Structure 1
């Protein structure tokens, strides 16, 4: 695989891997010592995952809970910090256990070094996990 040349291209490639449910390939986009943070995580959920192995362990269960179908609205903003982008997006799909619709708005601050993700701060909506029909059990 040719690694995408820019942080924006790498990010968009990662979104496609998530839609393809290819979590191992998505994890391969990370530095060994990459950090994934969830600043708005509710009580009992991880706020920070350190290292590619921890990120892979957390994400490997994602397709068992959420069947992502599309990211219909993706806007990527360049920053003045080299290798850092800000992405605004909306993910849609369904919750696997219940079949209920899934929709989440995200803002992510992503830093890429040497063609791999070194830092990803995921500002997702924690209120969504408490909505009726939301089943995120096993994701935390």
Structure 2
């Protein structure tokens, strides 16, 4: 399968892969020197992952912790830089360990280079994972 060329198409494809729990496919969308940042990460959680291998180590167990069912609201905004998009979205599903609902709103700033994700700044709400009902039980930590 060829990689979509526009940043918006690449991002939409990445969401489909996450819903399909195809983490290897999702990782294939990343540049080797890609950077994944979590500016609002709570204490003890990673703030920055440098390189595809670090991102892979973080993401491989993701489906064991969060069972994503849908991204019911996704808005992709183009910027003056054709390789940068800003995404507003909501992800819903279940926390695997507890069966509790997962409902998270995100804003992401994504930079693409040569059809691969180079930079992804994920502005998610850390308060949602600090509440006992939505504890990730170590997901991504």
Category of TM-score, reference length = shorter chain: over 0.9
Deviation at 1:133, TM superposition (A): 1.8
What is the number of residues matched between the two proteins? 140
Q: Deviations over 1:3-33 (max 9, x none)?
A: 1020000000000000000001000000000
Q: Normalising by structure 2, report the TM-score.
A: 0.97
Which SS does the other structure have where 1:43 is aligned? coil
Contact kept in structure 2, 1:97 and 1:135, CA below 8 Å: no
Contact kept in structure 1, 2:97 and 2:137, CA below 8 Å: no
Deviation at 1:82, TM superposition (A): 2.6
RMSD: 0.7
Q: Deviations over 1:73-114 (max 9, x none)?
A: 000000001300000000000000000000000000000000
Which SS does the other structure have where 2:82 is aligned? coil
Q: Which runs of 5+ in 1 are unaligned?
A: none
**1:37 correspondence with 2:37:** yes
Which SS does the other structure have where 1:2 is aligned? coil
Q: Which position in structure 2 is the counterpart of 1:66?
A: 66
Q: Which position in structure 1 is the counterpart of 2:78?
A: 78
**1:109 correspondence with 2:109:** yes
Which SS does the other structure have where 1:133 is aligned? helix
Q: Normalising by structure 1, report the TM-score.
A: 0.98
